[in-house]
Structure 1
């Protein structure tokens, strides 16, 4: 299946905060102090950058303890506004690919609801790999008479290993290093840089997350910043708007850390180092100081935010659970492609086959003439995940076709060619009855591109979303890609 590259990186900020510290050489203040006090995890079955890049798995957890297993104080828990539920969820899963020459970094988000093979469990949401494996192992050890403390430590290790293996199986890369950060870490890291600038299109007041902010540009710190990136209720596009918030927040946070105000301020560097010691777990084989020094000249514009390709972000299992359907082959092709030449060349020099176009400005009708039930809905959902505006979706009313074709008033337009490229390089034909901002996809039985897996989930008729669902519809457009060197902050919902 051709690779899809959705325009909205689903980056969750807690784990990505670690990347900020890695790429700026946070530990120059006191190398020995950091090395001796940072929490580590061993025996995780990690690799060594032999595939052309150092691949770092960043994990954000809902842990109510610090990195050393110490319970957070009640005041700290209250400041997180995260409720009382004790969890081991890894709702943040980000793979960082850094070419061996250290010239750039690409952060690839894996949606928490991606439906994958988990060792020992089978098909499951990937965010259950850590928690479910940990709990199963813990119960097994307790039944064997192992002390609670030892059972928790050993089961945590098993959970981490299961997640690492799940990510490796999905992406085709060997994870070289592992970093984990909890909710407290996000607050501490944001406070360390003196807050982060954000901009809202309109005021928000949502009590479940604690988000209560005026519209316009503002600086958020600590718990307010956490509420900003965690809110999903009462947003026009639910989780899609939360994803965009997280992306622009991360870009702003990177800019703050890379600024002279932070790098030349011993007090802020000290606060960053203390935050890492309290909240970050790294694999025991990682010489983080050496790695950070290699990347000290990495500019914000060389830190890109991406996401794995998805077949259907509104998927549903046979038993009604909301999932994100992914094609492991497409994911592997995409991840491998990040090292085929320069990622910057791919981003900065679009070819004539892949024109630069705002997908939200293009309305796409999808007409099914294939005889395959649900094909039009699957293709429409795939295009919707890329940000194209949904037009009509149904059966083709014209003369029967034998070859899948893109139709447009101007077959040479950027809009037509962008849709053709997104669906695997289809032929484009002229149809002057179509509006200039509308493209029609006519599907024949030969179609095998994105959305051709037989999914019947329609972006306009899918089941009602739940709190676990990555809410989306084909009529909702993502924000354009953002890198950490962009001017900002961008205003968001």
Structure 2
């Protein structure tokens, strides 16, 4: 939803906005949060590329935690406050250290993925799950200050979301940026709108969309409706993702124009809007990053969508979701952006002895998984039962992450890898949680259905080629 404007803020600074980023007061006025792990960040990320997570928040406050006015919330169609804080839209941006190109990957909000510590759920719930869990723990420790609960809860929510995206894409997140409802409205107003094009007229009471066919310029509430609509679109949320991509392409094109970069009034309004609505990770040197990226042109900015297995996937707990294959996603991301620094391939499968413990309560699961791993070349270890748990995990001795990753990749659901000093050298211990049992039964059935030609399903994406900022593309 609002992610296009998060992208705008980063694009302004990284792609075309060096002059804007250098304006006095911008950097000192930004809100920062400590959410990036020790392996991420830095001027030149060790894996050869900077990976940025951009998040559109369904938040009813500004970046400083101040509540938005009720009349503004009504105009923004923010809905009723229900205590939830889902991430409406997620985009993963991959930029090689040489700044030669930028590829932005849309992650559908209903993608059914593994959320570390919470099992398999829709990706847009990762932030809320991490935040609510942290708030509960803080309250148990006696923390009562609402602002402290909000700030620390949001930090943990962002960390949970970052860990989820890292597991899905196989990349380390180096930077994080989020934006709220108000920011979307004010930033589009500041630049004078964005040029878009629709193949046919559309009207939707849920989002407030009411557009004619053909080229048009949208800003403020209309821009929000344009990127928010999914009801009435042929492919629902997948078409909305394409809408967001062409909007961001238009946004980059607009910021590239001399009319924006040379207009002090527009730049000043843009700075004020960003300061009120955008949150960045602590330690991100925006000016240095902008200097590194300022040579990018519109044609070097691409927008893609991660591959989808089944857009109407029935889940055990979360209703209908979008099924994705983490291995396929990882390959797609790396194939679209070019090679980075090679990762440690780890030992041969035969050198890893895998002990399997059944913590799912499903009879015979450990034995079946152990046989499957043996068929893939791993050395079969001990099998047995363990105390019931929700999430599946692979535990390895310290320093054996690469071996653990190989075992995890051979299992369903892309489980988390943890280091555990109690695991013997050369071994990996698989703890099968209830999420694995669900995955094993439900996903196999769905895979069989997906393998056959569907009698009636959504058509394939119309945008086979990546969207760039070179021109206006007409979409559904």
Shift of 1:65: 0.6
| Aligned-partner Cα distance in 2 for 1:68–1:320 | 32
Contact 1:206/1:234 (8 A) holds in 2: yes
Aligned to 1:126: 123
Give, in whole Å, the separation in 2 of the partners of 1:98 and 1:28: 20
Following the alignment from structure 1 to structure 2, what is the Cα–Cα distance between the partners of residues 453 and 206?
A: 31
* Aligned partners of 2:77 and 2:207 also within 8 Å: yes
CA distance in 1, matches of 2:469, 2:64: 34
After superposition, where does 1:29-428 map in structure 2 within 5 Å? 31-45=23-37, 47-48=40-41, 49-86=45-82, 87-147=84-144, 148-319=146-317, 321-340=319-338
With over 3 angstroms needed to count, the CA separation of the structure-2 counterparts of 1:29 and 1:244, relative to structure 1, is closer
SS of the residue 1:178 aligns to: strand
Supply the distance in 1 between the matched residues of 2:243 and 2:293 (Cα, whole angstroms). 26
CA distance in 1, matches of 2:103, 2:2: 11
Change (3 A) 1:481 1:337: closer
Distance (whole Å) between structure 2 residues aligned to residue 236 and residue 339 of structure 1: 29
Aligned in 2, Cα 1:453/1:315: closer, same or farther, shift over 3 Å? closer
Deviations 1:294-344 (A, max 9, x none): 1112101100011222222221113462122222222222223344369xx
Aligned pair 1:15/2:6, yes or no?
yes
Distance (Å, rounded) in 1 between the aligned partners of 2:155 and 2:453: 39
**Aligned to 2:203, what secondary structure does the other structure show?**
strand
2:465 is aligned with 1:481: yes
Hey, what's the Cα distance between the residues in 2 that align with 1:103 and 1:26? 16
Q: Is the 8 A contact 1:44 1:160 kept in 2?
A: no
SS at match of 1:127: helix
In the alignment, is the contact (CA less than 8 A) between 2:5 and 2:187 conserved in 1? no
* Contact persistence 2:312–2:322 (CA under 8 A): yes
**What runs of 5+ residues in structure 1 fail to find an aligned partner?**
1-9, 343-450, 463-472
Q: 2: CA distance between counterparts of 1:222 and 1:185? A: 10
Contact 1:459 1:474 in 2 (8 A): no
Is 1:301–1:483's contact at 8 Å kept on the other side of the alignment? no
Match of 2:447 in 1: 454
Could you tell me how far 1:50 is from its partner in structure 2? 0.8
Change (3 A) 1:43 1:59: closer
Cα pair distance change 1:234/1:65, threshold 3 Å: same
C-alpha spacing 1:263/1:277, structure 2 compared with 1 (3 Å): same
Query: Structure 1's 479 and 316: CA in aligned 2 closer, same or farther, altered over 3 A?
Result: same
Cα distance in structure 1, aligned partners of 2:460 and 2:150:
43
Structure 1: distance between partners of 2:338 and 2:214: 40
Alignment partners' CA distance in 2, 1:42 and 1:73: 28
Q: CA deviation at 1:234?
A: 2.2
TM-score (norm 1): 0.69
Change in 2 beyond 3 A, CA 1:478/1:54: same
Which has the higher mean CA deviation after the structures are superposed, 309-318 or 116-125? 309-318
For 1:326 and 1:336, the matched residues in 2 are separated by 16
| Inter-CA distance 271–480: structure 2 relative to 1 (3 Å threshold) | farther
1:492 corresponds to: 475
Shift of 1:107: 0.5
Per-residue deviation, residues 181-216 of structure 1 (Å, max 9, x unmatched): 112211122112101112223332322111122222
**Which whole-Å deviations, capped at 9, do the CAs of 1:208-244 have from their partners, x for residues lacking one?**
1111222222211111110111111123332233223
Distance in 1 between residues matched to 2:261 and 2:254, nearest whole Å? 9
Secondary structure in 2 aligned to 1:33? coil
In structure 2, the CA distance between the partners of 1:241 and 1:109, relative to structure 1 (3 Å rule), is closer
The CA deviation at 1:262 is 0.8
Distance 1:80 1:45, change over 3 A: same
CA distance 1:241–1:474, shift in 2 (3 Å) = closer
For residues 143 and 205 of structure 1, the distance between their equivalents in structure 2, rounded to whole angstroms, comes to 47
Count of residues paired in the alignment: 365
Change in Cα spacing, 1:169 to 1:294, as seen in structure 2 (3 Å) is same
Q: How far did residue 45 of structure 1 move?
A: 1.2
Report what 1:417 is aligned to. Answer: none
Question: Residue deviations 1:157-177, cap 9 Å, x none?
Answer: 111111111111111111111
Runs of 5+ unmatched residues, structure 2 = 341-443
Q: Distance in 1 between matches of 2:283 and 2:471?
A: 36
Compared with structure 1, are the counterparts of its residues 41 and 125 closer, same or farther at alpha carbon in structure 2 (3 Å cutoff)? same
For the 8 Å contact 2:304–2:467, the answer to whether it is kept is no
1: CA distance between counterparts of 2:124 and 2:109? 5
Q: Is the 8 A contact 2:235 2:458 kept in 1?
A: no
Normalized per residue, the structure richer in helix is: 2
Q: Does structure 2 conserve the Cα–Cα contact (< 8 Å) formed by 1:11 and 1:108?
A: no
Secondary structure at the residue paired with 1:163? helix
